[in-house]
Structure 1
Amino acid sequence: MKDILFYFVVIAYVTAGYGENSAPDQCQALSPLSQCPMDIPSMKLLKKLYEESPDKNVIISPIGVFTLLSLYASGSEKQSRDEVMQLLGFNYFTQLLDCYSGLSEMFSFMNQKYIILANKVLVSDKYTINDGFSYTTSLYKSEVDKKNFENQTAAAEAINKWSSEKTNGIINEPVSASDIDADMAVALFNVIFLKDKWHVPFSVANTKDQDFYVDRSTVVKRPMMHLKHPLYYYDDKNMGAKMVMLPYKGTGFRMVIVLPNEMDGLPQVLEKFSETRLMDSVNKMRPQGDKVYLYMPKFEFKTKIELNDILPKVGVTSIFEQGSSGVVKERTVSVSKALQQTFIKVDEEGSTAGAFTGFLFMPTSLENPKSEPIPFKAHHPFLYVILQNDFVLFAGTYTH
């Protein structure tokens, strides 16, 4: 019997509103936690999700998945821990622990008007949490409670109440009683809720139905938003894509749109960024002396991910197969289930993005000289990421 359930549910909410008419400096100095190499593993995870999903509109919250993986790794050993470290790009576990415990602490001090990131650990009333694992949960600013999992309905209601409180009611039923195993020993959860406004909003009056090329032979009509502004921009010839940045009003929050040069180039761009740091390209973006003419679709969708299927494809297998002795005192546990549910809404005012995850267990630059306006028409499949400074909160693809 596998005794620990990893339940990943991520919901993202971002709303852009009316801000000043000049873009803030988004090429900021790297944060003290900038050595957390989150972008390559994020793109590896997104690439596999994109490849496995029949619906190519997908979104994931890497920070939610990685936070719980690193927390679980603190109570595991040998191959389980090594696989997590390899995926997340660390040679030493202390570096991994410092990174994700530091991120949890950093977000705990952020203005909850814009961002909420919270962790929760539920331990069966039949078991006792290991002292070392208990200490790690405190580093991760995790709430820890006892729960009788035999009452599956009550356990699900308690989890859903916590999620609803953290996401302002946006995610109020991430789990059902059928997700709860009566013999479960531990459950790990993460929720991330982002609500912000565009620094420079789109005008609703300018949104028109226009052609969107799903592929070279399929064209659909989609509501395309239009913005004319001196946005940060970069033409990455090595990656075969152009990039534009949309800042939010909250300091350091921004969405980056990565548009492949080729209409069918999204798989190749995902492949390249799964091997080369996305932030290297993001940090080359510069404000344009003249305006960028941006066209992009407004969209809203949900993704529910079976991470039991995705994580083994990026090298994390042993957490589902090998028992870990450092989580509870009485016995070893392994992961029985890993899920993530995500939601995003992008419109003229901004984006809404949030995530509830559960384990049921740049230098300042001068503006360029005046030049011709740059057209950026996202009318074929593209990649997007939502960042807080250099940390990947959400990553997704829009294809139809």
Structure 2
Amino acid sequence: MGKYARDTIQSIHANFSLRLLSSAANEILNAVLSPLSLASAAASGITRVEINDVFAREVLFIASQQTILRKNGTIIAPGLLVVLHLCDRAVVSNAMIDIARDYMGDILQFDCKNNSTTVAFINQWIANQMKSEFKIFTRNVYNVDWHFMLVDSFYLNAAWHYPFDERRTITKDFYANEHTTTQVEMMSMWAFDKFKYTEDIDVQVLGLSYQLDSNLFFYIFLPREKFALKSIMSELTGHRLLFLIARCKTVDVEVEIPRFSIENHFELNLPLASLGIVEAFTSRADFPALSGQRMHVSTVIQKTQIEINERGSYPVNNTHEMPNDELSVPRQGGHIKFIANHPFLFVITKIDQMILIGHTIPANSLRN
């Protein structure tokens, strides 16, 4: 595998995303996307070194990714809000305004004593971005020592290239863990020359394309063993993930995947610190591009919303070297079966750039 996957910015970013997912969420409905590239662009010294070493050693990748996504904003809607609390008449520097413009982020300045206004604005910004009434701040946080805050949002609104027939969706078992089985609405299709597929000794990989963008794909990484997701994620690297995606070919396949929806938010300070980004959250932080006032990152928040159903992905209310060998896919009972009836990893990619990563354990009505 090594000769097929080089140490690219894409693979480094994919590896970071896998590590952040494992750190931020442990086998719950989740999805994460990092805004730390903008923080890196505003930083210098040890602060910048830490962020770049952990994230991707390069900030241009996500800047270009945000540009690609915004150009197709009717499908994918990422958002980035930079909140700065400044005291003693300090102002945002022109350099920071330029950085925010490059990353297509919104920047807002508040007086350091005006936390209540900040809370109301952030909740409204999230509601506008996500087309949802969800509020990030529902508790009393007015006494929090806020300086430099990053709020990242994401929702996807896109139809499948090959939608599922709702009449074929039926209630079936989903094996959440060794002790719990849940009932889910399972979508199904006999897909002839529609979906991409590959497999290895550990996982099956299925790729579903979207209608309005032929480069946009939803990939499911389904462990062969029912309850092996945690162990597979602990061993999966960005190299291997992108290699498997690059190896996918269009095949005939019998597909069953559950409907599921995710709407959540993460505070990423501790997960990012556990990965090695420490200085940015301390008084030693060095962000000279922000303003003349010494500042550190107070909070990194991410709000994500996605629903997978028969029609596609909706809000809730290759630079890789390809292998030369031919893909040989073993048949199960005469044809390929992809039955996603246990926990799986999923990613959304555009070309070879990872946009979203998560794992799902549908939690409907549980039974023993």
What's the TM-score bracket when you normalise by the shorter of the two chains?
0.7 to 0.9
Matched, 1:316 2:280: no
Contact kept in structure 1, 2:148 and 2:297, CA below 8 Å: no
Structure 2 gap ranges (5+): 1-7, 363-368
Give, in angstroms, the shift of residue 390 of structure 1: 1.7
Contact kept in structure 1, 2:20 and 2:271, CA below 8 Å: yes
- Partners of 1:399 and 1:124 lie apart in 2 by 38
SS of corresponding position for 1:59: coil
Give, in angstroms, the shift of residue 34 of structure 1: 6.8
- Go from structure 1 to structure 2 and tell me whether the alpha carbon gap of 1:268 and 1:344 turns closer, same or farther (over 3 Å shift): same
Deviations 1:122-163 (A, max 9, x none): 334632223433332222123333333533333223223333
SS of corresponding position for 1:342: strand
- Go from structure 1 to structure 2 and tell me whether the alpha carbon gap of 1:298 and 1:389 turns closer, same or farther (over 3 Å shift): same
Give, in angstroms, the shift of residue 182 of structure 1: 7.3
> What are the equivalent positions in structure 2 for 1:175-324 lying under 5 Å apart?
175-176=137-138, 178-179=140-141, 184-229=146-191, 230=193, 231-237=195-201, 240-251=202-213, 252-274=215-237, 276-288=239-251, 291-321=252-282, 322-324=284-286
> What are the equivalent positions in structure 2 for 1:46-125 lying under 5 Å apart?
46-50=21-25, 53=26, 56-62=27-33, 65=34, 67=35, 69-90=36-57, 96-110=58-72, 112-124=73-85
Deviations 1:56-102 (A, max 9, x none): 2232232xx2x3x1211223233322221122232xxxxx2322222
- RMSD of Structure 2 on Structure 1 (CA): 3.0
> Which of structures 1 and 2 has the larger relative contact order (alpha carbons within 8 angstroms, sep 6+)?
1
- Go from structure 1 to structure 2 and tell me whether the alpha carbon gap of 1:182 and 1:368 turns closer, same or farther (over 3 Å shift): closer
- Normalising by structure 2, we get a TM-score of 0.82
- Normalising by structure 1, we get a TM-score of 0.76
Give, in angstroms, the shift of residue 243 of structure 1: 0.5
- Partners of 1:244 and 1:117 lie apart in 2 by 24
Give, in angstroms, the shift of residue 336 of structure 1: 2.2
Give, in angstroms, the shift of residue 220 of structure 1: 2.7
Contact kept in structure 2, 1:214 and 1:381, CA below 8 Å: yes
- Partners of 1:341 and 1:154 lie apart in 2 by 20
- Go from structure 1 to structure 2 and tell me whether the alpha carbon gap of 1:266 and 1:151 turns closer, same or farther (over 3 Å shift): same
**Residue type matched to 1:85 in 2?**
N
- Partners of 1:141 and 1:275 lie apart in 2 by 26
Q: Which moved more, 1:155-164 or 1:203-212?
A: 155-164
SS of corresponding position for 1:178: coil
Identity of aligned residues (%): 20
Match of 2:92 among 110, 123, 129: 129
- Go from structure 1 to structure 2 and tell me whether the alpha carbon gap of 1:36 and 1:130 turns closer, same or farther (over 3 Å shift): farther
- Partners of 2:112 and 2:140 lie apart in 1 by 11
SS of corresponding position for 1:37: helix
Contact kept in structure 2, 1:297 and 1:378, CA below 8 Å: yes
**Residue type matched to 1:305 in 2?**
F
- Partners of 1:320 and 1:123 lie apart in 2 by 14
Structure 1 gap ranges (5+): 1-32, 91-95, 355-361
Residue matched to 2:3 = none
